[in-house]
Chains A and B, each alone.
Chain A
């Protein structure tokens, strides 16, 4: 991290290196969605679509052209930032994705941030109190959290806090930008669900790597110098033990930003994940293609960002240009 050009070069190289990945994703998505039986013309016409009507609609949608031509046309536009328009609604795909992404991102980012915070505190405390009551309690809770299906937990929270106690709204969504208080109320349950199911594995990872670091000599050294336990944990253990947890945070963030379909379905949030699932079911090809390309891009960028964070934590790791 010594020279800026090194970092810029590294980023450029990584982004360029991701291009084949994105191309493969594009081809896979295109191939897979077209292999699924049924097409948007049939879905749109339902049980009342006679063959002529279906064929006419198919032509209108441009679905009767050869597949490689359709792909080339789509890719050409995609490279210029134009992801086409939705077959079902006629909306342009990119603004649609960005609008849905805001919803997913606000939930996922806040949930992962909270889960990371909990993991750091819980993991450090458990490692510090290794093999004592607190450690066992933390590990037990984390292990249990890993065993609970997210949609099950979400439904239970919905039932208790939304329907029975009526503390929180159960359906709908208000963007934070429109109304902060109301917007937050809609986010509480989905964020809580995600925090619980995601924090289990993070806590355990944090604890394991903190234990590793606590065994190292310089920690003993730091303690011998008379530093307080809090200082030892925060100054010496945390920075050195955080990297593996950060990797997991990156993976979780990368995958969830592409759409948290299950959570979004339970809480009926207009997020990216539900958009993909609905579009697959409706065979809305341009939307599916756009969303999954976007999801893959988000994944690549988040992991790149995580890689760039390592040198900040551990000076021994350098970014190679």
Chain B
């Protein structure tokens, strides 16, 4: 076959060229290749961002605090901190010996500069609103106490302050060297303190990170985004491969070493391969069927309860996630430390009761439109199954498939009857409930407009005491099952497939791939 000969010849030629290019004594550079399903939006942490951007930049920059493996907040660039008795003042002590990618040492000056930059409305920081007038608490002061100490003052106590700083979508509130921006304040490139630095970005093709030789990891084992973050390869390449089938093919052929966000469908097949290893975790995403509770038909909670009662939750979860997801009727993810016995119960389907409730609600077979999309197979398959299951109790559901942007528009404006949706991972249950709960008039994307729920949510947020918070979450859950503003069905699994010669890969229920500590044999 001429093709085959050509391919081989080119491979040999390529290898020869590569040999010529290297100085004879040089050790071969180690290269780890991972996939992005879409290019990152920018290199500006917490500003122009999406999930891919957050994930990549977590390898490059670090904040004062970060999430640990169990989703609690732990130290990262701050070695320790104190909170004033009134809960308004936080004093951070920086870890000594840390330096930026440009060699400059980390001091309080850069921390103050970074925090002030984020709080400047002109920066458009993702979490600027949370820490300004309209948010949970306003930062009224950021100042350096000495070269290694920084003090932040809030206008009122806010138990979730550190968790907000740690949030991945806030860019981990990364501490940056001021040379990250130009003299005009325009973004240039991140000069951070992470284990890798950006070496090249070919838009829509690949992004290269290289090992930062001067990195000082927080000692200890790998722990969320905090400890043990040493680079084990010289170069980390994120290849932009939008098509999942193509990405899988690349992995099988050896063009990729790590493939994160494998769908359960694909995982089913990859599981059989000897040259791969699968890493499956119960994720923090929340798959749910949302209802518009102001809809004339769905306003009656009995109809919503009826639909919930038609669902074979374990069966649906098994079919959509190839048996790898965890059935869960609670907003609190199964992997969360707050997911206790009260949250773990999954009521079985009851078609007779569903019929009775629907009837009592005055339902006479009117079609209910359920919006879904083609971009995310789980949302699509989930909608198909909900439609088929509701049909068994005489409830007619019509599916409307939109593209993702159009579905988001409906979500944001509340113009729908029902919607198949997945909330992205929120580490703290307060944030999870906050995504659902609120005033529909002010923010139409909130599905649960209930005063009691809002009061309970506020209580969960006002305290840092785990037992008090657990009680609030348990009450919220009971209320949620009774009112059914949405039906939470499962937490999609987080699955990564890694080549057999990859060492040290460790998936994390709460977040996407972390490629520090990962090497090649």
Asked if residues B408 and A169 are in contact (CB atoms below 8 Å), the reply is: no
The answer to whether B205 and A270 touch across the interface, beta carbons within 8 angstroms, is: yes
Interface membership of B242, Cβ < 8 A: yes
User: Judging by beta carbons under 8 Å apart, are A89 and B41 in contact?
Assistant: yes
Binary interface profile of B, 213-248, with partner A (CB < 8 Å = 1, else 0)? Answer: 000000000000000000000000001011101110
| Separation of A185 and B5 alpha carbons in the complex (Å) | 11
Chain B: how many interface residues by the 8 Å CB criterion?
A: 58
Known contacts: A49-B412, A89-B41, A173-B205. The answer to whether A168 contacts B7 by CB under 8 A is yes
Q: A150: CB under 8 A from chain B?
A: no
Residues in B100-149 with C-beta less than 8 Å from chain A = 124, 126, 129, 134
Known A-B contacts A37-B409, A50-B129, A60-B124; A170 and B4 likewise in contact (beta carbons under 8 Å): no
CB pair A163 B252 closer than 8 Å? yes
Interface string of A16-45 (1 = CB under 8 A from B): 000000000000000000001111001110
Docked Cα-Cα span, A185 to B403, in Å, equals 34
- Which of A172, A181, A282 contacts B405, CB < 8 Å? A282
Chain A residues near B38 (CB, 8 Å)? 278
Closest to B13 in A: A181
Q: A181 touching B410 by the CB < 8 A rule?
A: no
The verdict on B265 contacting chain A, using a C-beta distance below 8 Å, is no
**Of A38, A52, A167, A282, the contact of B3 (CB 8 Å cutoff):** A167
Interchain CB contact under 8 A, A38 and B406: yes
Return the CB mask of B13-42 against A: 1 if under 8 Å, else 0: 110000000000000000000000011011
How far does the alpha carbon of A52 sit from the alpha carbon of B474 in the complex, in Å? 31
Kindly state the interface size class of chain A when it binds its partner: 35 or more
A185 touches B246 (CB 8 A): no
A265 touches B409 (CB 8 A): no
CA distance A255 to B101 in the complex (A): 48
User: How many residue pairs at the A-B interface have CB separations less than 8 Å?
Assistant: 139
Contact at A170–B250, with CB atoms within 8 Å? yes
Residue of B nearest to A181 (CB): B10
A 128-170 contacts with B by CB, 8 A: 155, 158, 161-163, 166-170
How far, in angstroms, from A155 to B404 measured CA to CA in the complex?
25
Query: Hey, what's the 0/1 contact readout for A280-319 against B, CB within 8 Å counting as 1?
Result: 0111000000000000000000000000000000000000
| A47 cross-chain contacts in B, Cβ below 8 A | 408, 411, 421-424, 435, 445
**Residue of B407, B421, B443 touching A51 (CB-CB under 8 A):** B443
B249 touches A89 (CB 8 A): no
Alpha-carbon separation in the docked complex, A161 to B247 (Å): 16
Min distance, Cβ A142 to any Cβ of chain B, angstroms: 23
User: In the complex the two chains form, is A52's CB within 8 Å of B134's CB?
Assistant: yes
Instruction: List 12 A-B residue pairs with CB atoms under 8 Å apart, sorted by A's residue number.
Output: A37-B405, A43-B405, A47-B424, A52-B134, A53-B126, A57-B124, A155-B245, A162-B253, A171-B241, A179-B14, A182-B10, A270-B204
Residues of B within 8 A of A (CB): 1, 3-4, 6-7, 9-11, 13-14, 38-39, 41-42, 48, 50-51, 124, 126, 129, 134, 169, 203-205, 239, 241-243, 245-247, 249-250, 252-253, 255, 375, 402-412, 421-424, 435, 442-445
Closest 4 CB pairs of A and B: A181-B10, A38-B405, A38-B409, A171-B250
